[in-house]
Chain A
């Protein structure tokens, strides 16, 4: 039986914790959505995998990898010209950040979690909308010849 790669297992662990965090904020979790988010799907935490790179392979048996992903908090709020939407996104990101560093299934898979940058985006529709992406780099080890097995 084949198993998923460690990077996919990491993404699923992150997805699980984001689903819990989003639910606590009366929101939804989505991974790589292909269609525009409906009103019913926001607020939302969105997971966007970005890059998986080998960063060290100096062992004959193990390879160190860095998985870069973005967590995007999306909120809409009426009648506030953006400020409440921004605050709502920020609160979701704060919860997601704390959960990343305390979610044991994830910590079992990775050796390091590093927050690298955050951005702010907003637009005005019938209500104001806010997108706040936060980028993380998660370092982990695999067998050199088997990316589905921890190194």
Chain B
């Protein structure tokens, strides 16, 4: 059976993501050994329990959903010289044409970039 073409708007989103992600990418990450253009962020984060807060950061990679395995949680991801594991995957709900934010955790403690 021939593939059903995407509706016009969905196709526009897919085209936009495909064009924009390589342009907006600030790293080429290795996800499960495969090089993938990605938007890496490692913003300051702080969580507090009662009177005790911690300085920390929350590293994430945003990638084209089509560029990563269907079940990425638990896979290795490398950004620069830092090795991570993928702790969570947060797809935007647009299917393979959409974007997925991967939440990372360092394999070894190092100062975040």
Residue ranges of A at the interface with B (Cβ–Cβ < 8 Å)? 32-33, 35-39, 42, 46, 48, 70, 72, 74, 76-79, 81, 121, 123-129, 131, 133
Inter-subunit contact B49/A131 (CB<8 Å): yes
Q: Which residues of B contact A72 (CB under 8 A)?
A: 49-50, 52
Inter-subunit contact B51/A126 (CB<8 Å): no
Inter-subunit contact B50/A48 (CB<8 Å): yes
- Tell me the bound Cα distance from A146 to B57 in angstroms: 48
Closest to B107 in A: A79
Total A-B residue contacts, Cβ distance less than 8 Å: 79
In-complex Cβ contact of A78 among B49, B52, B107 (8 A): B107
- Tell me the bound Cα distance from A42 to B56 in angstroms: 11
CB B81 to nearest CB in A, in angstroms, measures: 14
- Tell me the bound Cα distance from A72 to B55 in angstroms: 16
Inter-subunit contact B56/A33 (CB<8 Å): no
CB B10 to nearest CB in A, in angstroms, measures: 33
- Tell me the bound Cα distance from A72 to B52 in angstroms: 9
Chain B interface size, under 10 / 10 to 19 / 20 to 34 / 35 or more: 20 to 34
In-complex Cβ contact of A121 among B49, B57, B85 (8 A): B49
B54 at the interface (CB under 8 A from A): yes
In-complex Cβ contact of B55 among A38, A79, A124 (8 A): A38
Q: Which residues of A contact B48 (CB under 8 A)?
A: 36
Would A129 and B47 be within 8 Å (CB), given that A37-B55, A38-B55, A39-B55 are in contact?
yes
B residues 70-87 in Cβ contact with A at 8 Å: 85, 87
B22 at the interface (CB under 8 A from A): no
CB A76 to nearest CB in B, in angstroms, measures: 7
Instruction: Pick 6 A–B contacts, CB within 8 A, sort by A.
Output: A36-B48, A37-B53, A39-B109, A72-B50, A79-B85, A126-B56
Which 4 A-B pairs have CB atoms at the shortest separation, nearest pair first?
A125-B56, A36-B53, A79-B107, A78-B109
- Tell me the bound Cα distance from A63 to B81 in angstroms: 62
In-complex Cβ contact of B52 among A74, A79, A128 (8 A): A74
Inter-subunit contact B57/A79 (CB<8 Å): no
Q: Which residues of B contact A42 (CB under 8 A)?
A: 54
CB B13 to nearest CB in A, in angstroms, measures: 30
Inter-subunit contact A33/B52 (CB<8 Å): yes
- Tell me the bound Cα distance from A37 to B48 in angstroms: 10
Inter-subunit contact A81/B87 (CB<8 Å): yes
- Tell me the bound Cα distance from A117 to B105 in angstroms: 31
Q: Which residues of B contact A37 (CB under 8 A)?
A: 52-55
